[in-house]
A and B are shown apart, each in its own frame.
Chain A
Amino acid sequence: MTLPASRPAVAEDLVLGMSPGVVCEPASVEEAAAIVGESCRSGRSVVFAGGGTDLDVGARPETLDVLLRTRRLDRVVEHAPSDQIVIAEAGVTLGALARALAPAGQRLALDPPLPERATVGGVVAANAFGPRRARYGSVRDLIIGVSIVRADGVVARGGGKVVKNVAGFDLPKLMVGSLGTLGLIATATFRLHPLGEATATLLSAGLKARDVAALGGRLREAQLEPDSVAAFRTGTDRFDLAVRFEGFARGVDEQRARFAALVARDVRTACDLLDPAAAGELWARQDATRRAGTFRAKVAALPASLEKVEAAVLAPLAEALGTASCVCYPTLGFAFVGGEAADAAAVAAAVAAARTSLSGAGGSLVIAAAPEPVRAAADVWGPPPAAVALMRGVKARLDPQRRLAPGRFVGGI
């Protein structure tokens, strides 16, 4: 049976080098449900794609018959400014959403790179985030409702459109980071935050990992509430630390002054207030660093362990890559490393060694993008999580025939 809203695949529809048999671009949730239901019933596997910014995350699907693009699911369904919530269809880009919310002085506080491509559905599915996570948390802290299309074509909702709600299981959180393996995220509902009246970015250059971690702790001890904290790795054990404060002007001025004093006292380094143009450039550079390279990895560790992570993970990985781009979110415990993996065996070895070092304290290294030789030499996910059997059980209940991106998720799910 011919699927609705379908067309033949073209070059841009390749997923990790695989060409889907057919591409569907539904214009409504109902149409999407018909496509998913019919595909799965007829034994075809389905991968969902938004802007494609995180399509490289995860293992290559075992099969790919249907690529469902959410591009035309582009409506902002409801924005209630006084309730600070928005309901958006999966294909709305973060850029379009920001433009829809800004007139009301509001935003969705999620700032992953490439906002003009990244979509609401993709950001939820990939658990994408940016430096503002330091203050606002991640998708799981901001999503309050979801509607999904299950593998059997059934449309189901979870959560609601009020911020406070504990009725039923939290299906929105189950979908966060599920990479299209449990169902299509058709719409998502988020809580919003006010746009800041003022913003200030400070930069302190040439710090050691130990100082970066210490300053992260000092920020907290000093009761400062930065909007973003990002440390650019400029060389072996060398970081430029950027801290951004946002909010009402009085609060921003006071906080940035206190932070500068703290840096001067504790690490005896200059801490420059960037002018708006320079600040804009710096945060654009942050985005670019996150996207640099055909090999990209996300490292998660305890925030206070940055010095150890630099020595055991970042430095060896940078060396294996030759030239590496790296930015850390030191208050959260993340590092993003990217580069060209010319020597796949060396990169795979560095990844394996890094995982051994990180696993002791519960950390992880996930490969977010990699050329084929690295994928062949290293598992993109690393060792399966302790609860993988339970995760398989959830997958088996929601997608019993394994039609949705089979094999893409952890442990071969």
Chain B
Amino acid sequence: MTTAAAASAGALAARLAAIVGDAHVVVDEAELSTYECDGLTGYRVRPALVVLPASTAEVSGVLREAHAAGVPVVARGAGTGLSGGALPVAGGLVVALSRMKRILEVDYDNGFLRVEPGVINLDVSKAIGARGYYYAPDPSSQSICTIGGNVAENSGGAHCLKYGFTVNHVRGARVVLADGTVVDLGGPVLDAPGYDLLGVVVGSEGLLGVVTEVVLRILRKPQATRTFFATFPSTDEAGAAVSAIIASGIVPAAIEMMDRLAIVAAKAATGLDWPDVGAALLMDADGPAAEVEHTSENAIELARRAGAIEVRRPRDEAERALMWKGRKSAFAAVGRISPNYFVQDGVIPRSEIARVLREIDDLAAAAGLRVANVFHAGDGNLHPLVLYDESLPGQEEAAEELGGAILKLCVRYGGSITGEHGVGHDKAAYMPVMFAAEDLDTMGLVRCAFDPDGRLNPGKVFPTPRLCGDRPGPHRPHPEEASGKIWRE
């Protein structure tokens, strides 16, 4: 940091401390370094300051100061994101919401609760579990990730196939805009008049505002859940089984696929006695008991007809939990079969699973790398794990290239570059693969309405930020554009 920059950071730190208290402004270099990345640890940037507000009023005050100082702001939950969405900006401010972790209100009769953004996802379900209720979105990181981060990323999880994503479970939010203005969007009552700005804020990856309160929809636990684990000679048969199950009119709560490498890894990590097979499915059906009995039996029959080698049903809840533990540990377990790996996140139409997996195999073979697949098969959300060894020259670069090629493959099949991890810093460059300039421009216009200076989470999602101009009007060149200081592609 230059002397001048350090001085202005120091002045801002003092003003922020007046709002949140000295103890909640981080200026120490060593402490700052703990905020320099999120779950995607390959990208690291040390922020100038980290501030930890405790209320909407404090967040508003902090953003007002940052706005006045012209400092970029990155909001941060638990930092478990996998797309670099919470990557700080050099010289910028990180607003960490970890102190705002109260559950403010629970209303069982009307099916909602109100929380602060720092509440951990799983703690929501824990708080209402005794009454037989739960919060449906269940990202794999749910024991550590926070609701605020879930809202920013529109997080999914294995069970969103039936229950939908975060956006389908958020009814309202209190949002602090870039200039410190506080707005309430939606609320416990459905269909508040006006534009569905709440639907736009959810999944906007911290570019539109900082969420300081969230109204979440809560659900009664289903009467029954039936789980089965089925093995197949290859992903071809497993993919066919998924298609047959969905085509039969069954809506599974979750249906997950693992390929040979992923099964090997999960076994190594958990000691599960899964066989060595080409592919496996893990399916949950839930709902009213009679319906679930029926759908579960039918799905098993369809899996057998599609070529299942073996179908296992857990004897009790403990065994069911173990099966899911195997699935959920598969990511980390890959570390046991490869020195390095990274997780890709892309979506394809589920009917194309078998074909796309073969193409991924071909791409991997051509790159001289291995790819393990463990993913949400029901909605075609692939999570290819690209395995590599950074000690071998060129392998890391080859792995990155392969990851990019997989994303392009997803788009070619009519899918998406991200199903749940977000675009963040990591995939901003791939947005033009999926969207035309006009599409990105329209999203940019929405951003201009919320944050005309582009101070919230700059550098994320959009490869080339739209310039907003001073005020709305027909397009005219930005003053600095006209002078040639900046330009757009």
Q: A333 at interface (Cβ–Cβ under 8 A)?
A: yes
Distance to closest chain A CB from B107 (angstroms): 8
Distance to closest chain A CB from B459 (angstroms): 15
Q: Which residues of A contact B347 (CB under 8 A)?
A: 160, 162, 164-165
Which chain A residues (386-400) contact chain B, with CB distance < 8 Å? Answer: 386-391, 393-394, 396-398, 400
Contact of B434 among A154, A167, A302, A411 (CB under 8 A): A167
Q: Which residues of A contact B243 (CB under 8 A)?
A: 82
Once the chains bind, are A164 and B420 in contact (CB under 8 Å)?
A: yes
A165-B419, A387-B183, A387-B184 known; A194 vs B251 contact (CB < 8 Å): yes
Once the chains bind, are B290 and A251 in contact (CB under 8 Å)?
A: yes
Contact of B192 among A152, A223, A225, A364 (CB under 8 A): A364
Encoded as 1 (CB less than 8 Å from any A CB) or 0, chain B from 191 to 203 comes to: 1111111011011
Once the chains bind, are A381 and B193 in contact (CB under 8 Å)?
A: yes
Q: Which residues of A contact B196 (CB under 8 A)?
A: 140, 173-174, 176-177
Once the chains bind, are B379 and A248 in contact (CB under 8 Å)?
A: no
Q: Which residues of A contact B220 (CB under 8 A)?
A: 220-221, 223
The residue on A at minimum CB distance from B172 is A362
Once the chains bind, are A82 and B184 in contact (CB under 8 Å)?
A: no
Once the chains bind, are A157 and B435 in contact (CB under 8 Å)?
A: yes
Q: A70 at interface (Cβ–Cβ under 8 A)?
A: no
Once the chains bind, are A82 and B247 in contact (CB under 8 Å)?
A: yes
Q: B440 at interface (Cβ–Cβ under 8 A)?
A: yes
Distance to closest chain A CB from B488 (angstroms): 15
Q: B478 at interface (Cβ–Cβ under 8 A)?
A: no
Q: Which residues of B contact A381 (CB under 8 A)?
A: 193
Contact of A171 among B221, B416, B418, B443 (CB under 8 A): B443
Q: A52 at interface (Cβ–Cβ under 8 A)?
A: no
Q: A291 at interface (Cβ–Cβ under 8 A)?
A: no
Q: Main SS of chain B's interface residues?
A: loop
Once the chains bind, are A410 and B194 in contact (CB under 8 Å)?
A: yes
Once the chains bind, are B288 and A223 in contact (CB under 8 Å)?
A: yes
Distance to closest chain A CB from B5 (angstroms): 32
A164-B160, A170-B203, A385-B193 known; A398 vs B423 contact (CB < 8 Å): no
Once the chains bind, are A251 and B294 in contact (CB under 8 Å)?
A: yes
Bound CA–CA A333/B153 (angstroms): 29
Bound CA–CA A301/B441 (angstroms): 37
Distance to closest chain A CB from B274 (angstroms): 26
Q: Which residues of A contact B79 (CB under 8 A)?
A: none
Once the chains bind, are A194 and B441 in contact (CB under 8 Å)?
A: no
Q: Which residues of A contact B291 (CB under 8 A)?
A: 225, 247-248, 250-252, 254-255
Residue pairs across A and B with CB atoms within 8 Å: the count is 274
Q: Which residues of A contact B465 (CB under 8 A)?
A: none
Encoded as 1 (CB less than 8 Å from any B CB) or 0, chain A from 210 to 251 comes to: 000000010011011100000000000000000000011011
Once the chains bind, are B197 and A390 in contact (CB under 8 Å)?
A: yes
Once the chains bind, are A254 and B290 in contact (CB under 8 Å)?
A: yes
Q: B10 at interface (Cβ–Cβ under 8 A)?
A: no
Once the chains bind, are B445 and A397 in contact (CB under 8 Å)?
A: yes
Once the chains bind, are A397 and B194 in contact (CB under 8 Å)?
A: no
Bound CA–CA A110/B183 (angstroms): 30
Contact of A397 among B132, B202, B376, B472 (CB under 8 A): B472
Contact of A333 among B177, B190, B441 (CB under 8 A): B190
A167-B431, A168-B439, A223-B288 known; A362 vs B188 contact (CB < 8 Å): yes
Bound CA–CA A299/B326 (angstroms): 48
The residue on B at minimum CB distance from A221 is B220
Once the chains bind, are B192 and A164 in contact (CB under 8 Å)?
A: no
Which chain B residues (346-381) contact chain A, with CB distance < 8 Å? Answer: 347-351, 376, 379-381
Q: Which residues of A contact B204 (CB under 8 A)?
A: 169-170
Distance to closest chain A CB from B217 (angstroms): 10
Bound CA–CA A144/B87 (angstroms): 28
Among B48-56, B161-169, B261-269, the one that faces the other chain is B161-169
Once the chains bind, are A167 and B199 in contact (CB under 8 Å)?
A: no
Which chain A residues (360-413) contact chain B, with CB distance < 8 Å? Answer: 361-364, 366, 381-382, 384-391, 393-394, 396-398, 400-401, 409-411
Encoded as 1 (CB less than 8 Å from any A CB) or 0, chain B from 126 to 161 comes to: 000000100000000000000000000110100010
Bound CA–CA A325/B191 (angstroms): 21
Distance to closest chain B CB from A148 (angstroms): 7
Q: Which residues of A contact B350 (CB under 8 A)?
A: 82-83
Q: A44 at interface (Cβ–Cβ under 8 A)?
A: no
Once the chains bind, are B154 and A387 in contact (CB under 8 Å)?
A: no
A223-B222, A362-B188, A400-B473 known; A167 vs B294 contact (CB < 8 Å): no
Once the chains bind, are B442 and A148 in contact (CB under 8 Å)?
A: yes
Q: Which residues of B contact A255 (CB under 8 A)?
A: 288, 290-291
Contact of A254 among B289, B351, B447, B475 (CB under 8 A): B289
Bound CA–CA A178/B446 (angstroms): 14
The residue on A at minimum CB distance from B194 is A385
A160-B434, A169-B203, A170-B199 known; A393 vs B416 contact (CB < 8 Å): no
Question: 18 more A-B contacts (CB under 8 A) besides A162-B419, A164-B416, A390-B449?
Answer: A140-B199, A156-B438, A160-B416, A162-B349, A166-B153, A166-B418, A168-B439, A169-B204, A169-B443, A170-B167, A174-B197, A177-B191, A177-B196, A197-B249, A220-B111, A223-B222, A386-B184, A411-B194
* Chain A interfacial positions (CB closer than 8 Å to B): 80-85, 105, 127, 137-138, 140-141, 148, 150, 152, 154-158, 160-171, 173-174, 176-178, 182, 193-195, 197, 217, 220-221, 223-225, 247-248, 250-255, 298, 300-304, 332-334, 361-364, 366, 381-382, 384-391, 393-394, 396-398, 400-401, 409-411
Query: 10 closest Cβ contacts across the A-B interface?
Result: A251-B291, A173-B199, A194-B249, A254-B290, A223-B223, A396-B472, A82-B351, A393-B449, A304-B109, A165-B416
Q: Pick 18 A–B contacts, CB within 8 A, sort by A.
A: A80-B349, A84-B246, A140-B199, A157-B436, A166-B416, A169-B204, A169-B447, A170-B204, A171-B446, A173-B196, A174-B200, A195-B249, A197-B249, A250-B294, A253-B290, A302-B189, A303-B110, A303-B111
